[in-house]
Amino acid sequence: MSAILARGLTRIYRRSAEEIAALFGVDLIVEPGEFVAITGASGAGKTTLLNLMGCLDQPTSGLLKLLDRDGFVFQDYCLLPTLTVEENVALPLLFSRALHQRDRVRDLLTRVDLQHRSDHLPRELSGGEQQRVAIARALVNNPEILLADEPTGNLDSKRGNEIVALLRDMNQTEGLTVVLSTHNRDLADRADRQVKLIDGRVV
Ligand SMILES: Nc1ncnc2c1ncn2[C@@H]1O[C@H](COP(=O)(O)OP(=O)(O)OP(=O)(O)O)[C@@H](O)[C@H]1O
């Protein structure tokens, strides 16, 4: 079974009389354990595609099948400012009705090398550190698929490389399926496969 299967996936934004086809007839299969980079110029439809895969948005038409629960990482981290690092990572457990699994949270914070910062607030961390907290949070419910929209977009190239190395490591050691979008050619080259979008279509 594929991790992600999209057939004829289309998303049209309607604003009064205007229609913008952000994504048009996209066919895509991602196999379990793959590491795929979605590339393309600004406005090509990368965010639209990832939002659909993450069920943050609904397609206008087409078919989308997902193997299992997914975790989502945003370009601008989306951490809650008044919660500590540990509380941010534990937050999805609340919604999945799991008890606060302190061991799981601690394990993930160790994995992203932030075990010593668990009591800090997001504003006390650098951008790269905040993104590592966001990755730990996305993984806390043991998803099979990790979706990351420009996870390195706000970071310098050194920090960006560290984030991609971390995702690559999770992919190789735990078989996590990873789909990320990026403008950065070097980062895209480190994926198993690149899927390029031009004007909402896969080329
Ligand atoms: N809510 C919206 N209403 C109308 N048009 C939208 C909306 N969101 C996105 N679009 C349009 O859909 C197209 C695809 O946008 P999308 O954000 O998916 O591109 P992207 O490849 O992620 O771009 P970037 O690299 O700049 O983030 C663009 O033309 C954009 O202007």
| Predicted confidence (pLDDT) per residue in 30-66, tens digit | 999 999 999 999 999 999 999 999 989 999 999 999 8
Q: What is the pLDDT of residue 158?
A: 85
Distances (CA, A) of 187 to 19, 63, 73, 105, 126: 33, 29, 16, 27, 20
Ligand 1 contact via 58 beta carbon (within 6 Å): no
Ligand 1 contact via 180 beta carbon (within 6 Å): no
The mean pLDDT of the chain is 91
pLDDT score of 185 more than 70: yes
User: Atom 16 of ligand 1 has which residue's CA nearest to it?
Assistant: 45
Residue 40 makes CB contacts below 8 A (sequence gap 6+) with 46, 196, 197, 198
pLDDT score of 134 more than 90: yes
9, 16, 47, 56, best to mutate for ligand 1 pocket (most atoms within 8 Å of CB): 47
Q: ipTM of this model? A: 0.97
Distances (CA, A) of 102 to 86, 87, 90: 9, 10, 8
Q: What is the pLDDT of residue 188?
A: 92
CB of 5 closer than 8 Å to CB of 65 = yes
Distances (CA, A) of 100 to 69, 84, 183: 19, 14, 36
Q: What is the pLDDT of residue 41?
A: 94
d(CA 110, CA 78): 21
CA 149-152-157 angle, to 5 degrees, is 160
pLDDT score of 97 more than 70: no
Q: 197 by DSSP, 3-state: which? A: strand
Q: What percent of the chain has pLDDT over 90?
A: 70
Q: How far is the CA of 100 from the centre of ligand 1 (A)?
A: 37
CB of 197 closer than 8 Å to CB of 46 = yes
User: Atom 5 of ligand 1 has which residue's CA nearest to it?
Assistant: 13
pTM for the structure as a whole: 0.91
pLDDT score of 94 more than 80: no
